[in-house]
Structure 1
Amino acid sequence: MTIAARDPRSTDELRKALVESLMAVIGAPDDVPTAETAATTLRGLDERLVSEAGSG
Structure 2
Amino acid sequence: MTTAAQDPRSTDDLKQALVESLMAVIGAPDDEPTAETAAATLRTLDERLAAEAGSR
Q: Report 1:12-51 matches (<5 A).
A: 12-51=12-51
User: How much is the aligned-residue C-alpha RMSD, in angstroms?
Assistant: 0.9
Bigger helix share: 1
SS at match of 1:5: coil
1:5 CA displacement = 1.1
Unaligned 5+ residue runs, structure 1?
none
User: What TM-score does the superposition give when structure 1 sets the normalisation length?
Assistant: 0.95
Residue correspondences, number: 55
User: What TM-score does the superposition give when structure 2 sets the normalisation length?
Assistant: 0.95
Unaligned 5+ residue runs, structure 2?
none
The CA distance in 2 between the partners of 1:39 and 1:3, in whole Å, is 13
Q: 1:6: which partner in 2?
A: 6
